[in-house]
Structure formats: C-alpha cells, structure tokens
Amino acid sequence: MQRPDLRPIAVATPSQDTLFPDALVALGAQRPAILFDDLDDIQRRLLAWMGPPPPREVWDPLTQLIYSLCSSRTKDAESIATMRLLRERYDGWPSGPNSWDEVRWERLRDAPVAEIEETLHLVTFPERKAPQLKQMLQQVTERTGALSLQFLAKYRTDKIRTWLEQLPGVGVKASAAAVNFTSLRRPAIAIDGHHQRIAIRLGVLPDKATARQVEEALMPLAPPAWTPATMDEHHTLVKRLGQQICPLREPRCHRCPLHDVCLTGQRNAPGPAAAPPKAQHPRGEHVTTD
Ligand code: SF4
C-alpha cells in the first residue's frame, strides 16, 4: 500500500494567541468589548436553558466528511436521512461493533455521478454535491493509496486541517467537524452558519467575519479545561440556540439566555430578559453537524 504523504501540505500558522486577527483590522473592525467572561459563561447559560445534548454518535473522519459535504445548507432531518440512504446503497457501515470503526466507502466512490446525485435527492444542490463527493473520495484514494483517513491520527491538528481543506468541497467548518466530532477527537470548534451569526451578534466579531475568523476568535476564549468533547457540546448548544431563538430573521432576544451578555440583544431589547422556557433538544436525533 502506498504510504500516505503529507509533505506538499503547508502547515497552518497557529493563530490562537490572538483574539482579534489582523484580517479583521483590514475590514475596519474595532477590537470588540465582549460582555461575557469566556465561553464557559455562554456554555453554563445554554446548559441551564436546554440541558446537555444527547451524546453524539462518534464516526470515523471520512464518514463525517461525507456527512459534512452532503449536509451544507440542509436541515438535519434530511441530512441524516441522506446518510442512511448512502449507507444502505453503498454498504457504508462500520466493519466492527463500534460506530467509529473503519467504514468502507469504495462503492460510493466508484458509483456513477448520476446515481450518487439521485441518492442525494433530499439535500440541497445534489447536482453540485454528487460530483464533489466523488472527487473528494477519489482524491483521498489517489493521495494516500487507500480510501481511509485513519492515518491522520498520527499528525498534528493544524496539519490535518490544512490537508483536509485541500480536498474538493472541504472548508473550515467541515475540517473542524472531521477532527472534533470523530474518533480523532481534536480541539476545534465547528462554526456553522448559526454559530457565525451568533458570535457576530454577541459582539465578538464584526459583520463580515468569516467562519475561520470566528473560530480563531473563539478558540482563545475556550477555558483551558475544555476538552474536545466540551467544544463539540458547545457547537451543538449554540446551533440549537440559532435554530430555536436566534434565527437569521427576527431573533427573540427577550427570551434568550444570552440576552444580558449580547450586544445585539441589549440593543434590540435593553434590560434584563424574562426567564425563558426550558428549550428542548429534538427527540430521537443523534447529534451531528450541519
Ligand atoms: S440576545 Fe438576541 S441577538 Fe443575542 S444571541 Fe440572543 S437572540 Fe441572538
């Protein structure tokens, strides 16, 4: 078997020593005056409001990457149903008793694009995602000699993410999910659209901040005691807040557990918030990224 070679990949410069990246200064942003202490402050409020999320079904990194590619701009229920269809059609099931055991995806890689597109009919843009998915799986095979990402466990987190982000369709959120949600269990906060919007509304970053800039700004605010699993839980809690209280349009600031530490909340509805009703995690759904 060909030995995986990561040499051509540039190593990302760690940027966790700065809360406010230079790129944001270029956007004309001022250093933010955030109202909360650290991410633990946010986490405590969200846990008190909706309780701990159901435990994640931890997958291998390649299966997570496939999920991330399919699920962008798609509701969780459709993404999960699509994953089920892919696993049934292409035998993408764990080979051992644990869900994070290696999954075989060769049949998906070798399937015709039109057939993959038909299997992805529940998600958005299947005509774009199907060829991207096939190309991603082909590139993993060509570059490593096998259709597996288990070898990544030997490498540093920043190097893994840079390598993953060179694959078709893999951006900063997908690479964070691949290292954090999976058997790799590395520190990273996956920034989906909800997280990006809420970080901006909290006042951590200016309006035009990208998902990468949000992650770079938030990681130093994670307490040293936080484990990769805590970061995973944080992602899920913030995502739920975005789905239930802080959507793109008409955020319900007066019901929000972050109201008194949110710059936008204080602007929209000054003063203390009414006690919100206890929110619920969706029933029967194993938690995955979007
Ligand atoms: S206070 Fe309003 S803007 Fe701030 S996070 Fe809550 S719902 Fe969103």
d(CA 260, CA 36): 9
Q: Is residue 10 part of a domain?
A: no
168 and 195, same domain (yes or no): no
Whether residues 71 and 173 fall in one domain: yes
Q: How does residue 13 score in pLDDT terms, banded at 50, 70 and 90?
A: very low
Is 168 in contact with 134 (CB distance < 8 Å)? no
Q: Say yes or no: 168 and 258 in one domain.
A: no
Percent over 70 (pLDDT), the chain: 78
Q: Flag whether pLDDT at 9 surpasses 90.
A: no
Q: How far is the CA of 198 from the centre of ligand 1 (A)?
A: 7
Domain end marker among 114, 148, 180: 180
**Domain presence at residue 287:** no
Report the CATH number that the domain containing residue 152 is assigned in CATH: 1.10.340.30
**205 CB less than 6 Å from ligand 1?**
no
Whether 212 and 144 share a structural domain:
no
**E-strand spans in 40-175?**
none
Give the pTM.
Answer: 0.84
Whether 4 maps to a domain, the answer reads: no
231-243 burial: b if 16+ Cβ within 10 Å, else e:
bbbbbbbbbbbbe
The closest alpha carbon to 61, from 97, 103, 119, 96, belongs to 103
Query: Which of 39, 49, 259 is the best mutation target for the ligand 1 pocket, counting ligand atoms within 8 Å of the beta carbon and taking the most?
Result: 259
**Residue 214 or residue 284, greater confidence:** 214
Q: Is the distance from the beta carbon of residue 188 to the nearest atom of ligand 1 less than 6 Å?
A: no
Establish if 71 belongs to a structural domain. Answer: yes
CA 78-180-228 angle, 5° bins: 130
Q: Is residue 245 within 6 Å of ligand 1 at its C-beta? A: yes
pLDDT in tens, 17-28: 344 455 555 555
Of 160, 159, 165, residue with least CA distance to 150: 160
Quick one: pLDDT band at residue 289, thresholds 50, 70, 90? Answer: very low
Q: Which domain holds residue 119?
A: 61-180
Indicate if 122 and 157 belong to the same structural domain.
yes
Instruction: Let me know if residue 134 belongs to a domain.
Output: yes
Indicate the residue type of 74.
T
Ligand 1 atom with the shortest distance to the CA of 266: 1
Same domain for 213 and 250, yes or no, is yes
In a domain, 261, yes or no: yes
Q: Would you place residue 57 in the very low, low, confident or very high pLDDT band (cuts 50, 70, 90)?
A: confident
SS3 289: coil
Distance from Cα 273 to the centre of ligand 1, integer Å = 11
CA–CA dist 75, 279 (Å, integer) = 19
- Examine the domain organization and report whether 206 and 137 are in the same domain: no
For residue 259, the domain's CATH number is: 1.10.1670.10
Cα–Cα distance measured from residue 93 to residue 100, given in angstroms and rounded to the nearest whole number? 10
CA distance 62 to 94: 12
CA of 165 to the centre of ligand 1 (A): 31
Q: Is residue 111 part of a domain?
A: yes
The proportion of the chain whose per-residue pLDDT surpasses 90, expressed as a percent, equals 67
SS3 2: coil
